[in-house]
Amino acid sequence: MVESKIRVEHLYEDLDREIRNSESSRSALQKSREVVDRALADGRPYYGINTGFGALAGKKIGAGDLSKLQTNLLLSHAVGVGPPLPFEISRLMLKLKLYTLGLGYSGVSLQTFDRLHYFAENDLIPVIPSRGSLGASGDLAPLAHMSLPLIGYGEFWDGGPGASADRRKPVDAVKALKDHGLEPISLQPKDGLALINGTQLMSACGAWVMEKCSHLLAMADLVAAMSLEALQGSIVPFDERIHSLRPHPGQSDVAANVRSLLKESEILDSHRHCGKVQDPYCLRCVPQVHGASRDAIRHTRNVIETELNSVNDNPLVLENGDIVSGGNFHGQPLALAMDYAAIALSEMGSISERRIYLLLEGHDGLPKLLMQETGINSGFMIPQYTAASLVSENKILSHPASVDSIPTSLGQEDHVSMGSISGLKLLQVFEHVETILAIELMTAAQALDFRKPLKPGRGVLAAHDYLRSQIPHLEEDRYMREEIDRGKVLLKEKKLREHAESASGKLK
């Protein structure tokens, strides 16, 4: 049983700690390598060690060609296409591969492990094309590209440790190796297969999103609370008694967050007896919609965390000396979970856009389009277009990739997960939802300005005051793209949330 050492909420700290402590892995690495060496001596066929791969598993390879077999494996599988993966995803892939190899069930040589360790420690991050993985037999093409620099092929992102991702450019691997006083290495039997069999692309995409999701979900509740105040919505649908009768965990957490953020609201008191019976669903059903997405994300986080602490190589080198073939490289658990997460996040964006639209309609004393002089000014009309466009794109991206499969390797690999597609779609959906929520944040803040001198709840007020210290109220049209970009920065940073929590208590 593999011990769980990598947790999503502390992803980067945990990975860095385990990589720094990889010296403690050397005993397990050495033992698994000795198993491989003994297997080579007994003359029997072992998949991928002294045989061909995939449909060629029945072909025995002579002892003199075993190193070339592993080199050819990288070269033949490095057929990825499309734009490169984001730098952070590539770096995460490298660290996840290093961690799982270090668990000692892959039989990788110490020379190869040490070189990968050097890459990670010195921020030598390979350039990896984003397309080409089927999410079964591992993320073969992406991991082959990740491993090419070991043998003097491929590219690194230049820039060195600490350089920002947007300033890095591809540089030839041989040149980068020479700059570090290194030469390409010769792969040993099993090395190439251990490098490319795995779920590190899928895992990196899922882990990257999950690590950021807890903050995004809390911010979605904060932004919704600001819209609720600006629209003079009712607090009644957030009554704890309602949610105790349908006790989904996420639903209860969202309702509690909104109640906390709206404490001591003068706006709520001003319309408490206005006679309005019910708000539109985008306000009234925030706990149910946001909460369902929270529960879906919680499930996905658990799946991703299990995978981060798993061995997904093939064949596996076991402690008793057995070398066994299985299917731990198959990405189905990840594919299903990431499709689910994309749907959940897409719904967060969808209900947010409905609140944006409602804020522009001129309800309860708000000026239409949230600007006094319209005609010459378009106000917040067009940011809603942008949000609507992203919501619609997310609906397309939320079509599950995991229901598709195309047989490969002459039918040997006859069912694949397409989990890499799930992961890449999830990245895009997440970024779209960040933008949609940033637009709602800017729109709700503008609307809330028109409720003065009445004050919103303590948490909303603190968040609004901080936002206004960074971005002023719009009296007339200005370059709105800059406003959205600045709003997105505020949404992603922790300061806005910290100001709200300092006034109303920690958000769930």
Respond yes or no: is residue 47 known to be catalytic: yes
The one-character DSSP state at 24 is G
Residue 235 phi/psi, 5° resolution?
A: -85, -10
Question: What burial class does residue 472 get, using C-beta atoms within 10 Å of its C-beta: 0-12 exposed, 13-18 middle, 19+ buried?
Answer: exposed
Using the predicted structure, report yes or no on whether residue 24 has a pLDDT greater than 80. Answer: no
H-only helix segments in 233-285: 240-244, 249-261, 266-270, 281-284
Residue 359: the pLDDT is 98
- Quick one: what percent of the chain has pLDDT higher than 90? 88
Q: What is the pTM of this model?
A: 0.96
Whether residue 423 contacts residue 133, with contact meaning beta carbons closer than 8 Å, is answered with: no
Q: Taking each helix axis from N to C terminus, what angle separates 200-230 and 332-360, rounded to the nearest 10 degrees?
A: 20
What average pLDDT does the chain have?
Answer: 95
Residue 23: the pLDDT is 65
The set of residues, in sequence order, having a beta carbon less than 8 Å from that of 327 and lying 6+ positions away, is 314
pLDDT tier at 271 (50, 70, 90 boundaries)? confident
Using the predicted structure, report yes or no on whether residue 1 has a pLDDT greater than 70. Answer: no
pLDDT tier at 410 (50, 70, 90 boundaries)? confident
Residue-range domain boundaries for the chain:
8-198, 207-315+323-504
Cα 274 off chain centre by? 44
Q: How far apart are CA 435 and CA 370, in angstroms?
A: 19
CATH class of the domain whose range is 207-315+323-504: mainly alpha
**Of the listed 47, 153, 340, 466, which one is catalytic?**
47
Using the predicted structure, report yes or no on whether residue 214 has a pLDDT greater than 70. Answer: yes
CATH class of the domain whose range is 8-198: mainly alpha
pLDDT tier at 20 (50, 70, 90 boundaries)? confident
Using the predicted structure, report yes or no on whether residue 162 has a pLDDT greater than 80. Answer: no
Q: How far apart are CA 200 and CA 188, in angstroms?
A: 21
Residue pLDDT, tens place only, 445-488: 999 999 999 999 999 999 999 999 999 999 999 999 999 999 99
Whether residue 305 contacts residue 298, with contact meaning beta carbons closer than 8 Å, is answered with: no
Residue pLDDT, tens place only, 82-103: 999 999 999 999 999 999 999 9
Q: Which helix (H) or strand (E) holds 323?
A: strand 323-324
SS3 197: coil
SS3 455: coil
